[in-house]
Every structure is written in structure tokens, then in C-alpha cells.
Amino acid sequence: MSGTWLDKVSWNADGLVPVIAQEVGSNKVLMFAWMNREALSLTAETGQAVYWSRSRKRLWHKGEESGHVQKVHAVHLDCDEDVILITVEQVGGIACHTGRHNCFFQKLEQDQWVIDQEVVKNPEDIYHHE
Amino acid sequence: MSGTWLDKVSWNADGLVPVIAQEVGSNKVLMFAWMNREALSLTAETGQAVYWSRSRKRLWHKGEESGHVQKVHAVHLDCDEDVILITVEQVGGIACHTGRHNCFFQKLEQDQWVIDQEVVKNPEDIYHHE
């Protein structure tokens, strides 16, 4: 948490920074989420993506339930220093909680949102709750 | 502005949605910005990216000064319906105001942010002010 590199990031009023996760190789955008200082620090330290869940108000180690962790290959900061882009290997090939490869599966076509991406695995088979 | 497809988007408390712009072909992430309802509507209508500038508090037709407009090939919405991904052709091959191809040119390497992308064109030659 002491890294001065973390001070370079312009955290927003909530202490968060928006994060884009992109797949290494395909360059496909997998998902969008947020990190706080601790999450970004842990992401760099562990080499796996750790986000801040705004709904659950806690650190969210991506894949903690599903096993679909993201192995981080690179971390980039944008020109305004208020957006992070991480390049990751998506374990299991599924980033989205709907069981799809990525979260951007609704495409605008003639004023309609049309699903243009198939489910890889049924979410019920991904998330095992007792 | 009357499109019901716009109602599907979960606008944040400020009436904005985060937008990721990705280059068609290379799949590189060019930039990250925000849109309000009018900006997204205009983007779909005109086929060119129109953002909401939070600093200038006005609509921002990307490329209005530089000529580096973004021609929109696709618009996607994520699973939570609160993030937009646009796939664009970046006219001029320069998306960043620093004169670089894209905004993510600072890479984290051993606790340091290192610039890993060259300037394509001097910003002074891009933005002509009288």
C-alpha cells in the first residue's frame, strides 16, 4: 500500500478508479469494474485481478467463487491518470457472471439491443452454493 | 432522444454512463469517456462518437478540433447495462490528446509508470488555436 506509483493515480471522490479488463491475445474487452487503492495494490502484488465491489462494498478477488481468475499480464494508466487498463489471461475463458466470455453481449441494432454472444457455461454450473 | 433503447441503459446519479472506445480491427482500447443520454443518442444517430465532457460540462464531438473523429461500427451494452463499449474506426489513427494512438501509454513496470507508446503527431500540430 506504500507504493508511490499508487499516488500517481487520480482516485475519484469515492477513492476509486475505473478499470477496463482486456484479454491478452484476442484484445477483446472482457469487463469493466472499479478498484480502490488496496485492490490495485493487491492486483499488482498477486498478479491476479482484485476489484472493489461497489454493491457488496468489499474487495472482490475476481474468480473467488467461479475459479475464473484473471492473471494479469500488464497494467496501464491513461493520459489523465484516472483510468486503468489491465491486460489479463481469463482463466476458464469466462469473464461474465452470465457464463459468457465477456460482459458486452448486447449489441445495438436498429434501436434494439440484440444478444450477439452465446453462453459458454450455465451460471448454475459455475457458481456452486450449498 | 425518444428511443426506448436508451431507457435500457442504467444511467448513474449524474445521468452518465462510462464508455470504452475500442478500435475496429486491432481491438486496441483507445480511450475511456462518459456519455449522457443525448450523447449516446447522437452517437447512434450520426455514426460518430459524441461524449459528455465532465470538465467542460458540454457535449463533446470527438475530433471536433483535431479532425480525429471516431466512426462507430458497433455499440454494445454490458450485462449490468451500465457500461457501453463502442467499436470505432479512429480517423487519423490518433485518439489521445497527447498525439498518441491511444490513451493507455503508461505501463506499470517494477513499481514505476513507464511510457511505452510513441507520439504519432505533435499535439501543437493537431490543435490549431489562433
Which of A:61-120 have CB within 8 Å of B? Answer: 74-81, 83, 85, 96-98, 100, 103-108, 111-113, 116
Nearest to A39 by CA among A16, A73, A55, A70: A16
Check: CB of residue B31 under 8 Å from CB of residue B24: no
Given an 8 Å threshold on Cβ–Cβ distance, is B98 in contact with A77?
A: no
pLDDT tens for each residue of B39-53: 999 999 999 999 999
Give the pLDDT band of residue A1 (cuts 50, 70, 90). low
* Closest in B22, B75, B111 to A3, CB measured: B111
Give the pLDDT band of residue A130 (cuts 50, 70, 90). very low
Reduce the DSSP state of residue A4 to 3 states and report it.
helix
Residue B124 phi/psi, 5-degree rounding, is: -65, -25
Residue A41 has pLDDT above 90, yes or no: yes
Q: What is the mean predicted confidence (pLDDT) over A66-70?
A: 96
Residue A129 has pLDDT above 70, yes or no: no
| Cβ–Cβ contact B8 with A under 8 A | yes
pLDDT tens for each residue of A102-123: 999 999 999 999 999 999 999 9
Q: What is the mean predicted confidence (pLDDT) over A19-37?
A: 98
Q: Please report residues of A whose CB lies closer than 8 A to that of B31.
A: 78
For residue A20, give how far its alpha carbon lies from the nearest alpha carbon of chain B (Å): 8
Residue B2 has pLDDT above 60, yes or no: no
* Closest in B27, B31, B76 to A106, CB measured: B76
Report which secondary-structure segment, H or E, holds B87: strand B84-90
* Closest in A22, A105, A107 to B29, CB measured: A22
ipTM for the complex?
0.95
Average pLDDT, chain A: 95
Average pLDDT, chain B: 95
Q: Please report residues of A whose CB lies closer than 8 A to that of B75.
A: 107-108
Given an 8 Å threshold on Cβ–Cβ distance, is A74 in contact with B106?
A: no
Report the pLDDT value the prediction gives residue B32, as an integer from 0 to 100. 98
Given an 8 Å threshold on Cβ–Cβ distance, is A105 in contact with B79?
A: yes
Q: Is A103 annotated as a binding residue?
A: yes
Higher pLDDT, A36 or A1: A36
Q: What is the mean predicted confidence (pLDDT) over A85-93?
A: 98
Q: Is A14 annotated as a binding residue?
A: no
In angstroms, the CA A102 to CA A94 distance is 6
**Cβ neighbours of residue A109 closer than 8 Å, sequence gap 6 or more:** none
Check: CB of residue B95 under 8 Å from CB of residue B22: no
* Closest in A76, A98, A108 to B104, CB measured: A76
Report the pLDDT value the prediction gives residue B130, as an integer from 0 to 100. 45
Higher pLDDT, B127 or B70: B70
Domains of chain B: 4-119 (3.10.20.810)
Q: What is the mean predicted confidence (pLDDT) over A79-107?
A: 98
Q: Please report residues of B whose CB lies closer than 8 A to that of A98.
A: 79
For residue A125, count CB atoms less than 10 angstroms from its CB and return exposed for 0-12, middle for 13-18, buried for 19 or more.
exposed
| Residue B36 CA: distances (Å) to CA of A27, A31, B82, B87 | 27, 20, 12, 18
Residue A79 has pLDDT above 80, yes or no: yes
Cα A118 off chain centre by:
20
- Return the residue of A nearest to B83 by Cα: A32
